Amino acid sequence: SYTTDTKSREENKKTIESLYSLSVDIKKIRRLKEWVLLQDVAYVKEIAGILQEMGADGTAVANILERCPEAILHTPEEIHSQRALWQLVCQNEKQLIKLIEQFPESFFTTKYHQNQKANITFFQELGLKNNIITRFLTSAPNIFYNPVDKNKNVIETLQRNYLNLGGSEANMKIWILKLLSQNPFILLNNSTTIQENLEFLQKNDFTDHEVLQLLSKLKGFIFQLNSTTMQKSMLFSKNVFNCSDQELKELVLKCPALLYYSVPVLEERLEGLLKEGISVAQIRETPMVLELTTQIVQYRIKKLSALGYDVKSGNLESLNGTKKDFEAAYGKIQSKKERPIFNPVAPIPTED
């Protein structure tokens, strides 16, 4: 246990000297987390030694300690335990030290060690591959801090609903693993929220099959919503597109963003498109364009305009999709424009 109270405390000279000998930028630590330097006990040489033992060179050790100076406040025993834990899912120590360099804060959070261990075992039993679990450890570490029973509860709620909505037992495991891989943060929600949101969709006349479709398309975002915001967003879309309940349902199935973005976000994106001369009718035809931020839309329109492609007169498909999708569509338009027109009856030029 250590304190973050820095009043009338002096820096630990021994800590400073040890960090200095490792070429650590002490000014950087003072600026970001000075409280670390004020603690009576620190394990600078020991933690550096463990990192070097794993294959980190001097520069890597200095970088890790600059980015996560609180690492030196953990006992060597805690770090050995954490090392053994992460080795359960890492291919080798080379991969492990690379991950520590990139995500030191995730590795040096040892407070929830038992929960982390139990959750790693649970995810492995669930069928998640080790490379996915390492991705979770680094990008979504909070899900490992939960007691394992809470995570199990959320997964069981998802499984139960999947089957109740008509999903097959054979596909359930693949569906759950895909959903988790796309959005591990669904585990930070509680099972009551999941239930309420699904009931809201059913009350709005979405069939079981359609709710299941939305569950997959939303990649877990549905669990971060609530019925009030969904109701407001749907009402906004209904008024903007001047459509019936059935037509609205079809639009939502086509573009779940109409459900999970709040009214101010939808309003801003709609205004951005209208300013570019795009009509409401065009947006209704391709509502997925509302998934893009105004800046992305402006950038893409500018690029297409430079090729002489006018989005105002055509459909909006070419604006759509991920960066990769857009680049592919843009490339097709570009090559079409650059391709010379071939005249089958023109004489073939020959050298004299």
Distances in Å between the alpha carbon of 89 and those of 97, 110, 138, 298? 13, 17, 12, 43
**pTM for the complete prediction?**
0.76
Q: CA separation (Å) from 180 to 134, 174, 189, 218, 220?
A: 13, 10, 13, 12, 8
Q: How confident is the model over 72-124, as pLDDT tens digits?
A: 999 999 999 999 999 999 999 999 999 999 999 999 998 999 999 999 999 99
- Tell me the average pLDDT of the chain: 88
Overall average pLDDT of the 179-207 stretch: 87
Q: What percent of the chain has pLDDT over 90?
A: 61
The CA distance from 241 to 232, in Å, is 14
pLDDT digits (tens, 9 = 90+) for 126-173: 999 999 999 999 999 999 999 999 999 999 988 998 999 999 999 999
pLDDT at 7: 47
pLDDT at residue 218, as a whole number: 74
pLDDT surpassing 60 at residue 350: no
Q: Of 136, 106, 111, whose CA–CA distance to 122 is shortest?
A: 136
Burial classification of residue 24, based on how many CB atoms lie within 10 Å of its CB (0-12 exposed, 13-18 middle, 19 or more buried): buried
Mention every residue, 6+ apart, whose C-beta is less than 8 A from residue 72. Answer: 15, 19, 36, 42, 43, 44, 47, 65
Contact 111, 141 (CB under 8 A): no
- Residue 165 DSSP code: T
Write the CB contacts of 255 (distance below 8 Å, at least 6 apart in sequence).
287, 288, 290, 291
Residue partners of 326: CB distance under 8 A and separation at least 6: 300, 318, 319, 320
Q: Are 278 and 314 in contact (CB under 8 A)?
A: no
Percent of the chain scoring above 70 in pLDDT: 93
Percent helix, strand and coil across the chain, each rounded to 5?
70, 0, 30
Output the pLDDT for position 252. Answer: 93
Nearest-CA neighbor of 68 among 103, 37, 95?
Answer: 103
Report pLDDT digits (tens) over 7-26: 447 999 999 999 999 999 99
- Residue written as token pair 């402006």: 298
Is the pLDDT at 238 greater than 60, yes or no?
Answer: yes
Give the other-Cβ count within 10 Å of 60's Cβ. Answer: 17
